[in-house]
Structure 1
Amino acid sequence: MSTKQVEIFQATFDVPDKVKVTLNKHMLLIEGPLGKVYKNFKKIPVEMSVSGNKVSIKAINSRKKYYAIANTALSLVRNLCDGVINGYTVKMKIVYAHFPITVKTKDKLVLVENFQGERAPRVAKIHGATKVASKGDEVTVTGPVLNDVTQTAAEIQAMTQVKNKDHRVFLDGIYQYHKAKGIEK
């Protein structure tokens, strides 16, 4: 093992032309054609600064752990910038054998009705500025923030998981089959 001092990781990210980034203490505001996105970096141990169209991120220590955290923060900023320009889409398929499943949205909730003949609807939360649309046997989840879109899709899939039955036989549920950058119709 070497005893020489390792440089502290520092990276800069060039913000695309259509995007405006501002930093207020630990709150990063990113504005683009698809709207505004906020991200709080208070609990992420990095030093961040915005100057012009560049975002610079610096690790607070030279250990591998802080190098990884700084790269994660850089990836978050990159995904947020891509999201306000293009957006993200997750497509899901409704699968049922006997009882036809219906998916509805109400306020910030997704209601899955008649799942395996149940009377009460199963409920999942819609995160952030994500939009959920169902048409026929397909559910489309779109939005500008990758974390919010994928978390909403994961909650929809998880709430229709079959319990106390053989999952190889009872295949009813809502399953993700396509994930893409860009908002698709």
Structure 2
Amino acid sequence: MQAIVVKEEVEIPSGVEVKVEGKKVTVKGKKGQLERDFSFAKGVEISLLDNKIILTSTFLKRKDKALVYSVRRHLMNMIDGATKGYRYYLKIISTHFPMNVKVVGDEVQITNLIGEKNIRRIKIYPGVKVTVKGEDITVEGIDLEKVSQVAANIETKSKIRGFDKRVFSDGVFIYNKEVLS
């Protein structure tokens, strides 16, 4: 069944500046500035009214209605990132060989994973900060997609294939994520 009109609102907190130019939205807060193009959301109109971002669309099917809510969530994540920021926590687990993880320039390097000689390299996106202290890795930044993608890339690159997972539990694993305050 089609929904005739869907209208969603996103409240803009104080201290956040939002600019809408067509389908391009810029959010500026105390932590930084995020910009995103929502041209993929055909049929969704984005506008500013008072202290709210208004999303409207008409004659929607199920997938189109889901798209409106996805755009709403992206805008909320942008506001949270510009005001607070995001942080992911990863843990280095090495039971057989002492694994080394270090940040070199704009990449994370994993060496000696189950005794391998090759270096596994993970690119760090601009605006994302990675720190390694002992067995803990912290990935933080203001763009949720970049922060979560860097953390996921680190976890994926350290996966071991071809060994029994019950015996070889080595790797780097995400164990916590949070919105900073």
Q: Please say whether Structure 1 and Structure 2 have the same fold, judged by a TM-score greater than 0.5.
A: yes
Structure 1, residues 36-89: CA drift from partner, whole Å, max 9, x if none? 111111112221112443211123532121111000100110011011111111
- How far off its partner does 1:129 sit? 1.3
Among residues 171, 174, 177, which one is paired with 1:176 in the alignment?
Answer: 174
1:66 alignment counterpart: 64
Q: Distance in 2 between matches of 1:151 and 1:71?
A: 22
1:135 alignment counterpart: 133
SS in 2 for 1:84: helix
Q: Does 99-108 or 131-140 show the bigger shift?
A: 99-108
- How far off its partner does 1:108 sit? 2.7
Among residues 6, 9, 13, which one is paired with 1:12 in the alignment?
Answer: 9
Q: Distance in 1 between matches of 2:118 and 2:174?
A: 23
CA contact 1:10–1:58 (8 Å) conserved in 2 = yes
1:21 aligned onto 2:18? yes
Deviant stretches of 4+, over 4 Å: none
The correspondence of residues 87-166 of structure 1 with structure 2, limited to 5 A, is: 87-166=85-164
- Which amino acid in 2 is paired with 1:59? S
Q: TM-score, normalised by structure 2?
A: 0.92
CA contact 1:20–1:53 (8 Å) conserved in 2 = no
Q: Distance in 1 between matches of 2:117 and 2:69?
A: 47
SS in 1 for 2:162: coil
Alpha carbons of structure 1 residues 67 and 128: separation in structure 2 relative to 1, 3 Å = farther
Q: TM-score, normalised by structure 1?
A: 0.90
Q: CA RMSD in A?
A: 1.7
- Which amino acid in 2 is paired with 1:24? E
Q: Distance in 2 between matches of 1:162 and 1:107?
A: 25
- Which amino acid in 2 is paired with 1:109? E
Structure 1, residues 91-148: CA drift from partner, whole Å, max 9, x if none? 1100001322222223332111221222221011223411110000000011112221
Among residues 28, 33, 40, which one is paired with 1:31 in the alignment?
Answer: 28
Alignment: residue pair count: 180
CA contact 2:86–2:178 (8 Å) conserved in 1 = yes
Q: Distance in 1 between matches of 2:129 and 2:58?
A: 37
